[in-house]
Amino acid sequence: MALIRWEQFDPVGSMLALQEELGRALRNPAFNLGLSAYGAYPPINLFDDGEGLVVMAELPGVEPASVNLVVQRNTLTLTGSRPRDEAKEPGAFHRREREFGEYSRSIQLPEGLDLEKTSARFEAGVLTVKIPKSPEAKPRQIAVESA
């Protein structure tokens, strides 16, 4: 069997590029995804991991403890601020491309999630929120008995 290496194949890259195209089409106001305007910060990716919904957001330079995450009535809200980290020291800037300030983002969650079991992790500037499906929403195998 031929071995496909990650670097050659890059499924995430091509997958996300495709999704980006799709997203552009879906940003058309004719589609209502219940998501905030594009360009809002932080940018969010939504995934299905088989167990439920995974929400990922890129928040570089943000302290994990400062992230304010609230789930209420099928709305997930993410607020906080990214303070400047270099202001105190003297010197002149040659480049200033990074963004600082406050952020606030809300997304509508689909039905059938067990919000009580929401968990969140912050690692290397990326927030990952996992919300499992509620037991009722999971496919259930029904044993078929013979008469």
Residues that bind another protein (CB under 8 A): 6-8, 10, 12-13, 15-17, 19-20, 23, 26, 33, 35, 38-50, 53-54, 58-64, 81-82, 85-86, 89-104, 122-126
Enter the DSSP assignment of 35: B
Q: What is the nearest approach in angstroms of another protein to the Cβ of residue 1?
A: 19
Question: Measured from the CB of residue 94, what is the shortest distance to another protein in angstroms?
Answer: 4
Q: Closer to another protein by CB, 54 or 71: give it.
A: 54
Nearer to another protein, 102 or 117 (CB): 102
The residue with tokens 């004719």 is 30
CA gap 7, 30 in Å, rounded: 37
Q: Least CB distance from residue 126 to another protein, whole Å?
A: 5
* All residues at 6 or more sequence positions from 65 whose CB lies less than 8 Å from its CB, including other chains: none
Report the amino acid identity of residue 122. Answer: F
Residue 92: Cβ-neighbour burial (10 angstroms; 0-12, 13-18, 19+):
exposed
- Per the DSSP assignment, residues forming a β-bridge with 121 are 128
Pick between residue 77 and residue 99 the one whose CB is nearest to another protein. 99
Nearer to another protein, 62 or 76 (CB): 62
- Grouping H, G, I as helix, E, B as strand and the rest as coil, residue 108 is strand
